[in-house]
């Protein structure tokens, strides 16, 4: 008879409930997260009690739904947690491998973490420091509150990395603030159950490129299993189709040459990610995601990012197989990174590697072959798609590799149009002059691989304006 009562209770619709304190533990525990939130909202709607009593009622229901032990005030799911390996977390917080704090040893310090300007494109140092800070808190905190204070997505790459980290993290946060707009974007690109927010409706003006991933970044598959183990061929086809979909909304479309170019860009970027994934294998980890969202009813803001772990650009180019490239690289570094000069050697090596025809693999049977055009292809293509005469929406591209950062933005958002294409970040764009250290610099922390992230705005007159500008 008792079981029959439980079944009948489960069948009760939330909209019909009038008494809340009498709800059984079994009923509450069998509600989905979405339905339980609806139930809590219904208390606010129909209850005539004072605010303090409403809070007591909600606390009662939450305790029934998630019972706590008498010795340690932690949910059972937390007590079962163990440390999970993750290359990004382990790099940002090496103390994880020295001393891991299990749930019973963690103290609730009421930690509040406020995050804003979350964008490598605009604030690379601050954003990387934020991710490192989150990794360090994960090692010892519990019940921390994480507030994402930005109203809109400024850059998709930090959220991809946060998602990769989050999947292997101890559940040290109990939620926090995040705008519905950002929640919708994160759900749209496939970062499921991000901070427990799964009941967000995705607006029609958000068009996502769902996360695609090769291999694992840790013990657990990234984000969602059905987006894992993508191939380069599959990913470049989907990315080409998605870009065409974005362009159509601005009354544009890719030509056959444009489709071929974007396929070549994705092929080279991801092929490099796989080849430089580790010292032992040519099978690296990578993830790709993007989104377009309409702002101000006229501007189509597009965000696209590639993330991979493994060897950095500087470390691979320093081991180039072509003696000519190694000699030119060393001459460039020595010219601008002497004892009395402030330029970082790895940042200079990364910048040199970005230039056309510079690659770690340019010899086959001791004969030079073409290679090393992928990054400049990316710079040029993003500048064509996002060309605008309005300064506030110029294309932006950020490359972070290890502790080196290069910012293609503002007066240096482009590359020279004649091949070999060059951008040396000085007023004359020549190799003999040092780069502007506001755009090429060393970071305080290091990322265990490479991030390429872009932001551009589609303009229906883009082709005409670009041709006139040339």
Chain segment 305-331, per-residue pLDDT in tens: 999 998 899 998 988 877 888 899 999
pLDDT of 297 strictly over 80: no
Interval 20-53: pLDDT, tens: 888 888 888 778 777 888 888 888 888 878 888 8
Instruction: Write down the pLDDT at residue 268.
Output: 81
pLDDT band at 391 (very low <50, low <70, confident <90, very high): low
Beta bridge partners, 300, equal 294, 458
**Pair of tokens at residue 189:** 């690109």
Instruction: Write down the pLDDT at residue 455.
Output: 93
**Highest mean pLDDT: which range of 73-82, 252-261, 406-415:** 406-415
**Highest mean pLDDT: which range of 105-114, 197-206, 246-255, 436-445:** 436-445
In this structure, are residues 76 and 109 in contact, taking their beta carbons and an 8 Å threshold? no
Instruction: Write down the pLDDT at residue 52.
Output: 83
pLDDT band at 4 (very low <50, low <70, confident <90, very high): very low
Q: What angle do CA 27, 32, 36 make, to 5 degrees?
A: 70
Task: Give me the DSSP letters along 276-312.
Answer: TS-SS-S---EEEEEEEEEETTTEEEEEEEEEEESS-
pLDDT of 218 strictly over 80: no
Beta bridge partners, 368, equal 363
Tell me the HSE value of 205 on the side-chain side, using a 13 A CA sphere: 12
pLDDT of 332 strictly over 90: yes
Percent of the chain with pLDDT over 90: 28
pLDDT of 126 strictly over 70: yes
| Mean pLDDT on 59-63 | 85
Instruction: Write down the pLDDT at residue 46.
Output: 83
CA 292/CA 301 separation, integer angstroms: 5
Largest Cα–Cα distance of the chain, in whole Å?
Answer: 87
| Mean pLDDT on 102-124 | 91
pLDDT of 302 strictly over 60: yes
Mean pLDDT, the chain, integer: 81
Query: Which residues, 6+ apart, have CB-to-CB distance to 337 below 8 Å?
Result: 343, 344, 345, 348
CA 273/CA 125 separation, integer angstroms: 23
* Phi, psi (degrees; rounded to nearest 5) at 456: -150, 160
Instruction: Write down the pLDDT at residue 8.
Output: 40
Instruction: Please indicate whether residue 387 or residue 219 has the higher confidence score (pLDDT).
Output: 387
| Mean pLDDT on 374-388 | 79
User: How distant, in Å, are the alpha carbons of 9, 35, 38, 54, 114 from that of 13?
Assistant: 9, 10, 11, 20, 38
Per 3-state DSSP, the chain is made up of helix, strand and coil in percentages (nearest 5) of 40, 15, 40
State which H helix or E strand residue 82 sits in.
Answer: none
pLDDT of 194 strictly over 70: no
Distance of CA 133 to the CA centre of its chain: 16
CA 413/CA 457 separation, integer angstroms: 13
pLDDT of 280 strictly over 60: no
Instruction: Please indicate whether residue 283 or residue 133 has the higher confidence score (pLDDT).
Output: 133
pLDDT band at 115 (very low <50, low <70, confident <90, very high): very high
Interval 67-101: pLDDT, tens: 654 344 445 455 447 788 889 999 999 999 888 88
**Pair of tokens at residue 103:** 């749930």
CA 416/CA 380 separation, integer angstroms: 9
pLDDT band at 107 (very low <50, low <70, confident <90, very high): confident
Lowest mean pLDDT among 99-108, 265-274, 284-293: 265-274
pLDDT of 368 strictly over 80: no
């Amino acid at each position: 008879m008792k079981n029959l009562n439980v079944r009948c209770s489960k069948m009760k619709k939330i909209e019909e409930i009038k008494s809340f304190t009498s709800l059984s533990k079994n009923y509450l525990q069998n509600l989905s997260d979405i339905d339980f939130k609806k139930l809590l909202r219904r208390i606010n709607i129909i209850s005539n009690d004072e605010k303090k009593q409403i809070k007591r009622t909600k606390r009662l229901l939450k305790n029934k739904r998630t019972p706590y032990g008498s010795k340690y005030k932690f949910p059972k799911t937390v007590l079962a947690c163990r440390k999970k390996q993750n290359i990004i977390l382990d790099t940002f917080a090496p103390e994880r491998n020295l001393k891991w704090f299990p749930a019973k040893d963690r103290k609730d310090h009421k930690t509040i973490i406020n995050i804003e300007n979350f964008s490598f494109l605009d604030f690379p140092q601050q954003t990387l420091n934020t991710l490192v800070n989150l990794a360090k808190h994960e090692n010892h905190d519990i019940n921390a509150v994480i507030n994402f204070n930005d109203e809109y997505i400024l850059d998709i790459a930090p959220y991809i990395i946060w998602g990769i980290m989050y999947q292997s993290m101890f559940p040290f946060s109990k939620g926090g603030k995040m705008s519905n707009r950002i929640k919708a974007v994160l759900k749209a690109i496939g970062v499921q159950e991000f901070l427990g927010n799964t009941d967000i409706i995705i607006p029609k003006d958000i068009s996502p490129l769902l996360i695609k991933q090769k291999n694992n970044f840790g013990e657990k598959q990234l984000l969602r299993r059905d987006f894992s183990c993508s191939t380069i061929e599959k990913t470049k086809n989907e990315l080409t189709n998605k870009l065409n979909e974005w362009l159509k909304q601005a009354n544009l479309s890719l030509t056959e040459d444009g489709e071929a170019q974007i396929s070549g860009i994705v092929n080279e970027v991801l092929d490099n990610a796989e080849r430089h994934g580790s010292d032992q294998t040519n099978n690296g980890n990578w993830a790709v995601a993007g989104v377009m969202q309409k702002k101000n009813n006229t501007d189509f803001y597009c965000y696209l990012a590639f993330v991979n772990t493994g060897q950095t650009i500087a470390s691979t180019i320093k081991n180039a197989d072509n003696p000519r490239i190694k000699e030119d690289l060393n001459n460039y570094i020595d010219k601008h990174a002497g004892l009395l000069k402030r330029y970082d050697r790895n940042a200079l090596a990364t910048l040199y590697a970005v230039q056309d025809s510079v690659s770690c693999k340019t010899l086959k049977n001791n004969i030079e072959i073409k290679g090393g055009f992928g990054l400049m292809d990316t710079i040029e293509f993003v500048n064509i798609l996002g060309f605008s005469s309005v300064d506030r929406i110029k294309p932006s591209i950020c490359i972070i590799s290890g502790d080196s950062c290069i910012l293609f933005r503002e007066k240096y958002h482009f590359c020279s149009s004649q091949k070999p294409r060059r951008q040396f970040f000085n007023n004359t764009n020549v190799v003999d002059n040092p780069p502007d250290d506001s755009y090429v610099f060393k970071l305080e922390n290091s990322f265990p691989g490479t991030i390429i992230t872009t932001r551009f705005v589609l303009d229906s007159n883009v082709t005409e304006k670009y041709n006139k500008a040339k």
